[in-house]
Amino acid sequence: MNPEKPHFTIRVSASRLAKRLLAIPQKFKNLFPRKKDEIQVIFDDGEKIEKLTFAPYDPKIKESRIFGLSRWFSKRNVQQGDVVSITMEDEEKGIYRIALDRFLRERHEKKARQKMRSARTEGIAQEGLSTLALLTRKRPRQVAEDEILRIAQQSRCQPRPRLRTSASYRYEGVPPGIRILLREVHEGKCQVCSFAFKKRDGEPYFEIHHLDPELGHHPRNVLLLCPNCHAQFEHAMVTGFEWAANWLVGVVINGKPYALRQPFARKSPARIVNGVVLLLVAVQIGPLVTYGWAN
């Protein structure tokens, strides 16, 4: 929406929703024709122009009305209380834009989420996370938790890609989007010992450990660790894996038990389990959910 163009918002009422129309308050009547006519309308962020019936201001009902919205109401699942923005897109040609704020917000959130997940650098991933926080009006850490759970619920586990370096191969590094989300959720602190330190650039230093190195970057298959704990997971005798809602919450390292900070294991079962496709992996780390970037 262009803020320089005349525009206003209205909230959809139950009575207008039932009649499949939009009611224009008296104070905005001068933006519309003074007699019954067809007006040209563009919906949401589209470009196609459609014609709708407009009834001018009626002193008895104290409003103007736009009819012919049944298809758009159904397509966008417009509900009572939804906010609709109406903009004078082209005053000379008499073209208006009718946009459902909820729909546009969801579109913008989806774009920011895709930008974060496909980011090639942590800087770009951070931009996506910040944009999501602004759009959802949540703290970055809460957004990061939501996104980690979304990925866990909507994705499946695949073999971890290997990258070729000279004549050998190595495992693909963790995508910047996952690193940024884990950093935000755990504040850069080790999930085992809570140790953290800042690098010279002020960012926290941490390492990502894959519970099963053959599997991908699914949130249930990765831990945020300090170098010491990461080395222990790689080289010490690690047993006694304890799981809660398919999240690792405890291990035994060289005979000593450790509890892992795992906020997702405390989330409501309905939020965690809903939509998750479980894959029983025949490895000592226990069951993991399959992985893949899915929206």
Closest CA to 147 of 174, 120, 112, 104: 112
What's the pLDDT at 291?
Answer: 37
What's the pLDDT at 289?
Answer: 37
Tell me which of 260 and 2 has the higher pLDDT.
260
Overall pTM surpassing 0.75 (yes/no): no
Mean pLDDT of 207-235: 95
- Give percent of the chain with pLDDT exceeding 70: 88
**Is the model's pLDDT at 94 over the cut of 80?**
yes
Q: At what angle do helices 101-117 and 122-136 cross, to 10 degrees?
A: 160
Mean pLDDT of 188-210: 96
116-131 pLDDT, tens digit per residue, is 989 999 999 999 999 9
| Structural Rg of the chain based on CA atoms | 26
Any idea where the domains of the chain sit in the sequence?
A: 7-103, 118-289
Mean pLDDT of 31-41: 94
**Is the model's pLDDT at 279 over the cut of 70?**
no
CA atoms within 13 A on the CB side of 110: 8
Tell me which of 276 and 65 has the higher pLDDT.
65
222-248 pLDDT, tens digit per residue, is 999 999 999 999 999 999 999 999 999
What's the pLDDT at 292?
Answer: 39
β-pairing verdict for 37-43 and 95-100: parallel
State the Cα–Cα distance between residues 75 and 57, nearest whole angstrom.
Answer: 28
Domain 7-103 indexed as CATH 2.40.330.10? yes
What's the pLDDT at 273?
Answer: 44
Instruction: Mention every residue, 6+ apart, whose C-beta is less than 8 A from residue 85.
Output: 1, 7, 8, 9, 97, 98, 99, 101
State the Cα–Cα distance between residues 24 and 21, nearest whole angstrom.
Answer: 10
pLDDT band at 2 (very low <50, low <70, confident <90, very high): low
What average pLDDT does the structure give for the chain?
87
State the Cα–Cα distance between residues 235 and 77, nearest whole angstrom.
Answer: 55
Secondary-structure percent of the chain, ordered helix, strand, coil, rounded to 5: 35, 30, 35
